[in-house]
Structure 1
């Protein structure tokens, strides 16, 4: 094969690699900026056993062992599964990291459980953070940050307690194992949690760019299911920010202590414009 043919093949690969990444990030940005996505969250309310009213949601709320309860006043209502609800509604116990979406006038309301607490989060399409969102800066994608690794399962899933973006809050995840890999000859590993798709994995991490060019608290990386030999691919070009990078109304988990990488992962999403000091678009 001639040099020109080799160069052409390499160029074609790089073009295809960039195009795939651009399409992936376009779809990710669209989901983030959805009319009821996380950029639309306009408040965070913690439910207690005592009745409370909040200025941006209908009803009087409390919670307990039987889950959240709302009592709606005259002229107040909302919609669940297409059914209009008035007066009183009992949601029942909500599982950790689960939630119910309620339709309220001009918006939706997330009734959820995070870190052992029941919470309310209204999501309004006209929230300034969403309206003025102008995308997230990233490192240019590069094939060097597509890293091969090996998944090493624990003997049994390991309960792992991590901190949260909200001070004093804790999250507990069952970690099925760790991912071992190397960058520039440096051996590294990351504790992995279960991913969204069955068999897939998810890792939370920080690195030497955290607090410099990337968000200080965390970034997230989705990893496909290991093959029969435990092999996985970590594409750090697709490292993304969690909601807490954009808004204080998030309860995002922090990485386990062992997931603080000593190298600079100069790939993936950078600190959002909304978090940069002095940025005029900061509305979080």
Structure 2
């Protein structure tokens, strides 16, 4: 079967148990918020610090931090210890050259000092469990789950993955991802499409998008929709009830990518997560 033989049809008719559908969504949403608010999750980050060749003190972290051709370096005070990959380190420690979108977590007491590389720059982000953003978190507001926002679509691979440069929520920063293809689908009588990036599991995808709710009831910069690996003929399922905020929706200390320009949907996707309470009023 050709990928073009897969119909662009709604999958809502396949949902026969609305109560079960809602309960499954609630469990998924609680688990997602729990990961966000984990002891050293994104809500525990107290700052975003860009490293240079000049050694600098980083608030909420020990030592002097710098970067250079050999990678990230920290020089600790005599009585200070970090635990890196299970081993205690003291004095001068070279983390080495980090891969793009990679990182290392160094444990410091009850805190974690994240050392990472984003957009070609080395950064340090301390994560403290007692950070007020984390301790005051009460969950993410969201639209009530509705089966009508579950649709089937078709994955159309590009002949070759396309290097795709997108902006970031940090001004001047750029991210480059390989886009393996595009997902097309029909929603509210319209034929639509989203360029996708590779997901967190083999064969899966992630689609960054905005829509007519962005900046009104949902976060203005982006939302993320994860899509399981295609079935026979390239068929995929898009459940917009599971459109989530990226960390930048909650904190200014994230470097989240923006969607590709073609991923603005020309309709209101009134499904999934809304603007976090931490960012102000939520309309609707």
TM-score interval for Structure 1 and Structure 2 normalised by the shorter chain: over 0.9
Structure 2 counterpart of 1:118, from 119, 122, 143: 122
Structure 2 counterpart of 1:250, from 250, 254, 258: 254
Map of 1:141 onto structure 2: 145
Structure 1 residue ranges (4+ consecutive) displaced by more than 4 angstroms after TM superposition: 9-12
The C-alpha deviation readout for 1:234-268, integer Å capped at 9, x for no partner, is 00000000000000000000000000110100000
Structure 2 counterpart of 1:180, from 175, 181, 184: 184
The two structures have a TM-score, normalised by structure 2, of 0.93
Q: Which runs of 5+ in 2 are unaligned?
A: 1-12
Q: Is 1:93 matched up with 2:97? A: yes
Equivalent-residue separation in structure 2 for 1:108 and 1:94 (angstroms): 17
Q: Which runs of 5+ in 1 are unaligned?
A: 1-8, 279-284
Equivalent-residue separation in structure 2 for 1:14 and 1:203 (angstroms): 26
How is 1:217-236 mapped onto 2 (pairs within 5 angstroms)?
217-236=221-240
Map of 1:68 onto structure 2: 72
- Give the total of aligned pairs: 270
Map of 1:128 onto structure 2: 132
Q: Which moved more, 1:266-275 or 1:71-80?
A: 71-80
Deviation at 1:81, TM superposition (A): 1.9
User: Which one has more relative contact order, counting CA pairs under 8 Å at least 6 apart?
Assistant: 2
Q: Is 1:17 matched up with 2:25? A: no
Structure 2 counterpart of 1:152, from 147, 153, 156: 156
Give yes or no for contact 2:47–2:59 (8 Å, CA) kept in 1.
Answer: no
Please, what is the CA RMSD of the aligned residues? 1.5
Q: Which moved more, 1:65-74 or 1:121-130?
A: 65-74
